[in-house]
Structures are given as structure tokens and as C-alpha cells.
Amino acid sequence: MRRPQIGIMGSSEADDTQRRVAEAAGRAVARAGAALVTGGRDGVMQAAAKGCAEAGGTVIAVTPFAPMEQVNEYTHYVIPTGLGWARNVITAISGDVILVVGGAAGTLSEIAYAWMYDRPIVALSESGGWAKKLAGERIDHRREDCIIDCDDVSKLGPILSELLAKRPLKTIPPVGPDAP
């Protein structure tokens, strides 16, 4: 069975509050037994990766760059896309759950992709930005649920547990000549 993956989306130009929230959220991801998926850059991504890595978790970076070296120092695995901002669709659908910390235009695009691809989205509204603006809101008519508002990162653990319990972590059985 595959392990859960949780994406943390947020700006590379984060303020101190956003970095604090992101680092705590990264620790919560590790405690939930999930791998963290980020964009691999600085700001929110670096703080989340630091929290996750220091708590013993695994960090995966889906970077906008082609060189594998252009990631923060807390990254374990790199997926270098060379796609620039277009890589946002990949980061947004690589999590079983998506967490939003602050956020600018790039984060907004990731929120939209996560919504379109039916990923549960949790907005850490204390961090401001798009997280605060969209917490508790529906993006459009395509889904009945809302973006979940987590107004204090200390409340994140139970939210993640509940969301991950609802997401089946099924894998497709092998096919072809090597299949049992």
C-alpha cells in the first residue's frame, strides 16, 4: 500500500508568520505519517520542508526548474519539471490533501487545480493571503464541499487524520507478464 502524500502550497516570499505556520504544518505532516510535497523553493516551501524533515518525515520537491540542485536543503527527493509555473498543476495534484499557507498568485493557481482535481484543501487561515481569503469558501459549483478553515496550526493534526482516513490509498494491481 502506498503512503499518503500531503502538499503544502505557499509563496516563496513568506513573512515570519507564514514561515512559522508552514514549519508547524510540516511537522504535522510528518506526524501523520505522510510524505510532504512542496515546490522545493524557499519561503513557505522551505519552512514546511524543514519542519517535516526535522520531525523525521520525507520531503518531495516538484520544482519549476530542470536542474535537480535548485531545491532547499531539506528536500529528500526532487522531481525537476523544467516547466516553470506550469508545474503548479503537478504540485496541486500530488497530495492526497492540500494545505494552503498564505499564498500569492502561484498559490492561487495551485488551489484552483487542487479544487478541479477533487483534492481536499485545508486553508491555514492564520497565515493570511489566499489561505485567509478562501477559508470556508467554495471555489465554484463543481464541488459541494468548501475549503476547510484551520484557524490555528495546532488544530491541524486531527484534521489531517480525518481527511486521510477518508482517502483510499489504493494502488492498481500489476498487469502484464510479471503480474501474479
Domain count, the chain: 1
Per the structure, the complete domain to which residue 130 belongs is given by: 5-166
Query: Is the predicted pLDDT of residue 109 greater than 80, yes or no?
Result: yes
103 occurs within a structural domain: yes
Among residues 26, 39, 170, 8, the alpha carbon closest in space to that of 102 is found at 8
37 occurs within a structural domain: yes
What would the pLDDT profile of 35-88 be if each residue is shown by its tens digit?
A: 999 999 999 999 999 999 999 999 999 999 999 999 999 999 999 999 999 999
For the chain, give percent helix, strand, coil, nearest 5.
40, 15, 45
Rounded to whole angstroms, the Cα distance separating 118 from 21 reads 24
64 occurs within a structural domain: yes
160 occurs within a structural domain: yes
| Phi, then psi, of 99 in degrees rounded to 5 | -110, 140
Which CATH number goes with the domain that contains 136?
3.40.50.450
Please state, in angstroms and as integers, the Cα–Cα distance from residue 156 to each residue in 9, 20, 32, 150, following that order. 15, 14, 10, 7
Rounded to whole angstroms, the Cα distance separating 123 from 8 reads 10
| Phi, then psi, of 32 in degrees rounded to 5 | -80, -5
The x, y and z cell numbers of residue 119, run together, are 483534492
> Which residues lie closer than 8 Å to 113 by C-beta, 6 or more apart?
88, 89, 92, 93
173 occurs within a structural domain: no
175 occurs within a structural domain: no
What would the pLDDT profile of 21-40 be if each residue is shown by its tens digit?
A: 999 999 999 999 999 999 99
178 occurs within a structural domain: no
87 occurs within a structural domain: yes
What string of DSSP letters covers 12-24? SS--HHHHHHHHH
